[in-house]
Amino acid sequence: MYYNALPSIFAKAKELRENMTQAEMMLWEKLRRNQLGVRFKPQHPIDIFIADFYCHPAKLVIEVDGQVHASQTDYDDGRTAELERLGITVIRFRNEEVFDDIDKVIRKIKQKLYELDRQ
């Protein structure tokens, strides 16, 4: 579901899909083709945002964050609050987490999917 995404957002999402960061590409290799038992979509428009990865059945957004500074943290917190207002759960990973221990990241995603399925 696109949650009233603006038409201009779709073009930006396509551009982002074609230019994923290294960490996003690494995680996408583990999420694509229903490898976790659910379908994720990369760079998916939701309202005024573009989620790095979105699983519609679980209403789960996965964000991969680069370098974090105070203003970015404030923006991310606001964005998370807006997505949660729409009934979407957001989990975030730093690039370093993806690079250093992708298996741990996948375990956390699986755990969150399990928790959401039990609700």
Q: What is the pLDDT of residues 46-83, one digit of tens each?
A: 988 999 999 999 999 999 998 765 567 778 888 899 99
Mean pLDDT (whole number) for 107-111: 98
Catalogue all structural domains in the chain, each as residue range(s) with its CATH number. Answer: 7-118 (3.40.960.10)
Q: How confident is the model at residue 3 (pLDDT cuts 50, 70, 90)?
A: low
Assign 2 a pLDDT band (cuts: 50, 70, 90). low
Tokens of 32: 């694509």
CA distance 106 to 77: 22
User: How far is it, in rounded angstroms, from Cα 112 to Cα 68?
Assistant: 23
Q: Output the pLDDT for position 1.
A: 54
Tell me the mean pLDDT in the region 8-35. Answer: 93
- Residue-level length of the chain: 119
pTM of the model: 0.91
Question: DSSP character for 4?
Answer: S
Judged by average pLDDT, the poorest of 38-42, 72-76, 85-89, 111-115 is: 72-76
